[in-house]
Amino acid sequence: MKSLLFPAMVAMTLVCGCGTNTKKEATPKFSTFSDHILSVSRQDTVSLLDAAKWVRSIGIEGVDAKVTLTDEQMSDLLAGGLKPACAIIDLVYNREPVEQVEDRAIEFCKKFGFERLMYCPPLLPADATPEMREAALQDIKAFAERAIAEGLDLLFEDYDNPRSFTYNIEKVDEILDRNQDIDVSIYRPIGDPKER
């Protein structure tokens, strides 16, 4: 059964970008964000493929990839020996229609073999009304149901901003309460947060 998961930390680290999921043996144990590999490529003026190979050579097995990567970028990351660990969807209100971003995220996961999708809920505008908040929560629930029906484990990033839907335990509980019909888990990273 697919799950709705909540990473239990504010910021993901270089290793274990999306934490450790004991439920799937095939999922890479150590992964890094695609943005870090893109930075290595730019800073060292090497191809993305060479940067991916270097990252793999130091023991990083997987990539946590933003769904906005091009097919060519994703192909280079995979050709460099990295396995799909976790796809990442960042939503921003008023940038482009949310449905288009969500469609692209699900298609990206299918195309490149990602079984996990981290959903970074959009920050509400500072002047958001209760109606805007309610509409956004309904959209989150609808997308959670859709992603899980597509066979994905859906993670929610906890985000340290009062306008976030996952800012504190009360806000996380609100999402959990609305998704009682979904298998919900708490997804914890490796190690003590004080050691990170």
- Model confidence pLDDT, tens digit, residues 143-187: 888 888 899 988 877 777 778 777 777 777 777 776 665 555 544
Strands of the 4-7 sheet, one edge to the other: 31-33, 62-66, 83-90, 116-120, 153-156, 4-7, 184-187
Residue partners of 35: CB distance under 8 A and separation at least 6: 66
Quick one: pLDDT at residue 145?
84
pLDDT at 1 over 50: no
- Inform me whether the pLDDT recorded for 12 exceeds 60: no
Which pLDDT score, from 0 to 100, does residue 96 have?
A: 58
| Confidence band, pLDDT 50/70/90 cuts, at residue 106 | very high
pLDDT above 70 as % of the chain: 71
At residue 160, what are phi and psi to the nearest 5 degrees? -85, 70
Pairing of strands 62-66, 83-90: parallel
More confident residue, 96 or 128: 128
